Amino acid sequence: MNTLKSKNKVQTLFEQKQKDILTIYFTAGFPKLNDTPKILNGLEAAGVDIIEIGIPYSDPLADGPVIQNSSTLALNNGMTLAKLFEQLEHVTIEAPIVLMGYLNPVLQFGITKFIQRCAEVGVSGLILPDLPVEIYERDYKKQFEASNLNFIGLVTPQSSDARIAKIDRASSGFIYAVSSASTTGSNKSVGNFKDYLDKLQNLNLKNPVLTGFNIKDHNSYQNACKHCRGAIIGSAFISHLQTNGVANGSILNFVQKIKQSPS
C-alpha cells in the first residue's frame, strides 16, 4: 500500500483561515480527458483554498444543467474512477482535494477500494449527496475515519434543526449548505437564503459551513462570505473552462475576478 499523501488538510485550513474560504468545483475529465491535472495545478497556482472534483455519472439528478452537461462529456471522453485515481497519483498540490459524486459508481468500484485509493492519492474528503447519514454512520464511518477522510454532509433550507444537528455530528471538515435537496447549481442567489445561512451560524455547529448558491462573480462570493465561512463555485467555473480553456492564465483570470472587485 502506498504511503498516505494527505491527512486532515481541510481541518487544518479552517484552523488557519477564518473567513473567505474559496472552493472551486470542476468535473473530472472535462473539457478533455487529461485536463484534470492541468486544472488542479492551475487552481493551486491561483491560490484556491479547496479544490472539489466532481466524479462524472450518467444520471446526476442532483446537479444543474451545466454540471450535468460536463458530466456527460467527461464520460464520453472516457473518464472513470480508475482513470481519475491514476491522474491524481501524478499530481502533488498543497490545497485540500475533495471528491463529490454519487454512491452508485463508488459502490461499483468497491467502497473499501475507493476509500483506500482516496487516501493513497491525497484526497481529503468526500461529498456523497445520495448517501444518507444513517447509512454512512452504520456502514462506512469507521473506514472513513481510519483513512482520515472527511465525510462532508449536505444541508438544505428544508432540513430541520434536529436533522442539521445529526448531519453536523456525523460530518467532519465542513458542511455544505445547498439550496435544495434536489439540485445543485440553483439560480437562486445567496440573498434569498440569508436567513437560512444565518440560522446555521446561530446553531453553533461543530463544523464550519460553506455554501454554493449561484455564486459566479466577486459580488456573489463576497455576499456569501458574509453569512458563512466561504463559498463554493461550480457551474460558473465549468462554463469558463468550456469557453476559455484550461491554461493557467485562464484559470488565474477567473479566480482573480472572484477574489477582487472589478477595477
Q: Is 139 labeled as catalytic in the residue annotation?
A: no
Q: Omega into 31 within 30° of 0, i.e. cis?
A: yes
| C-alpha span between 51 and 27 (Å, rounded) | 11
With cell 432540513, the residue in question is: 159
Q: Is 63 labeled as catalytic in the residue annotation?
A: yes
Give the 3-state secondary structure of residue 182: coil
Distances (CA, A) of 72 to 54, 60, 86, 191, 243: 12, 9, 20, 31, 17
Choosing from 35, 44, 49, 63, the catalytic residue is 63
| C-alpha span between 234 and 10 (Å, rounded) | 19
| C-alpha span between 203 and 165 (Å, rounded) | 8
Closest CA to 40 of 121, 114, 97, 120: 97
Choosing from 35, 44, 49, 52, the catalytic residue is 52
| C-alpha span between 186 and 183 (Å, rounded) | 7
Instruction: Cite the beta strand spans of 58-178 per DSSP E.
Output: 97-100, 123-127, 150-151, 154-155, 175-177
Tell me which residues are annotated as active site: 52, 63
